[in-house]
Amino acid sequence: MTKNLITLMSCAALLCACGTQKNTTAVQYPVVLPGEQAPLADPGQNNFGGTHTTDTTGLAARIAARRAEMSKIRTVHFNDLQMSDPYIYPEASTQTYYLTSSGGRMWKSKDLVMWEGPYNIIDIKGLWLERAGFAAAAEIHKIGKYYYYAGTWSDHSDLIEQVPRRYNVPHNQTYLLRSENVEGPYTSFAVEPGYDYQPHNWDCIDGTLYQENGHTYMIFVHEWTQIIDGTMDYIELSSDLTHTISEKPVTMFRASEHPAVAEMNSKGEATFGLKMPGWVTDGPQMFRTDTGKLGMLWASWGQERYIQCVCYSQSGTIAGPWVQEPEPFLADNSGHGMLFTTFGGKLMYVVHHVDGKGPRKPQFWNVDKSGDKLVLGSRIYVDENFNIK
């Protein structure tokens, strides 16, 4: 059963849409063997990350067929997109919006209404990332003359820890790729192929880039699946982003520090078909209000399932301390949202939402950051006449 469940979690990761110093020599890590998992979810239980059945017969083939169908280039109305963790990068030179998400491919649009894609823009041949295949929570950042692609890869064939009666922890890392063109191809440039920007023995996801006073940082999630109470951490990168220069990551806060974040088992939430207790951190994005206050959007689970949270740095720097806003920024099974500015200068918020047990679909919202705090406005609807209103 354990072997089937590992296979299932690896395959399910394809559908859900899921040591820091410079090192130039190959490191041999101990082999970690699978062990006893947390109890299986109950039939019909709320469950993130795929079905909890242990019957995986034909599952890989079905997933491959589904991925082949979904990979066909086409033009789609915004309302018909299905994805987790949407991220929009507006490129002024092409007057085009580029949309990435979990899945790792790119969509592009001139008007935020009709989207063409999905395009494969990454080249990870020969890296351990190729075994994982699926890139989660992909983002694009422009730093200097380069565009950087930050995605999370999860290799369930390479275990870093076995937590008894909990989880077989896979090699999970946010890795950076680089291109001189916003549309790619994005390729590896790290100090060594497959370099771990985060500690190898940490389960890390959802890395994002942030610059402050000439320094570049990666903010990332240390997964609750490994440590029970998930954390948000940061590391400093070298000036060329090829490696990490921090001696160790700095923890910004724990998930349980937010009063609206709920413990998963207490809310009846299973993950990867398992009843794992804990508190979740997900999807960070840094922002500054117009008054200069430094904030962070991040996601977790609460009374209305997936929720968007926000916190602010009292010092105005990445060092914090970070203070959580007591109420969710947005609840209603919505989360992992990102801010972007249109070519017309309008600040918008894109977030994925699940209606009932349906698929994850992106939504647009109005937001205001003119004061000391980010304020959520009304939802922006894209109507049947191809208008945003």
pLDDT at 50 (0 to 100):
57
The answer to the question of residue 386 being in a domain is no
* Spacing of C-alpha 94 from chain mean position: 26
The DSSP annotation for 80-116 comes to: G---SS-EEEEETTTTEEEEE-TTS-EEEESSSSEEE
Look at residue 306 and tell me if it is in a domain. Answer: yes
CATH of the domain at 290: 2.115.10.20
pLDDT band with cut points at 50, 70 and 90 for residue 22: very low
Residue 188 lies in a domain: yes
Average pLDDT of the chain is 91
Higher pLDDT, residue 305 or 383: 305
**pLDDT at 210 exceeding the cut of 60:** yes
pLDDT digits (tens, 9 = 90+) for 323-369: 999 999 999 999 999 999 999 999 999 999 999 888 999 999 999 99
Which range among 13-17, 71-75, 290-294 shows the weakest confidence by mean pLDDT? 13-17
Looking at the domain assignment, is residue 103 inside a domain?
Answer: yes
Q: What are the strands of the beta sheet with 167-179, ordered from one edge? A: 135-143, 146-163, 167-179, 187-188
pLDDT of residue 4: 39
Domain that holds residue 213: 2-380
Return the closest-CA partner of residue 271 out of 11, 1, 46: 46
In the prediction, which pLDDT does 353 show? Answer: 97
CA–CA gap between residue 157 and residue 155 (Å, rounded): 5
The pLDDT, as a whole number, for residue 55 is 53
Condensed to tens digits (0 to 9), the pLDDT of residues 84-128 reads 999 999 999 999 999 999 999 999 999 999 999 999 999 999 999
Please, which pLDDT band fits residue 25 given cuts at 50, 70 and 90? low
Q: What is the pLDDT of residue 149?
A: 98
Residue 127 lies in a domain: yes
Is 385 inside any structural domain? no
Which two structure tokens, joined as six digits, stand for 50?
């795929």
Q: What is the pLDDT, as a whole number, of residue 134?
A: 86
- Mean predicted confidence (pLDDT) in 229-236: 98
Mean pLDDT value across residues 21-46: 83
Q: Is residue 149 part of a domain?
A: yes
Is 387 within the bounds of a domain? no
pTM score above 0.85: yes
Domain count, the chain: 1
| pLDDT digit string, tens, across residues 34-93 | 999 999 999 999 998 754 445 556 766 766 676 676 679 999 999 999 999 999 999 999
149-197 residue pLDDT tens: 999 999 999 999 999 999 999 999 999 999 999 999 999 999 999 999 9
Tell me the backbone φ, ψ of residue 367, rounded to 5 degrees. -140, 155
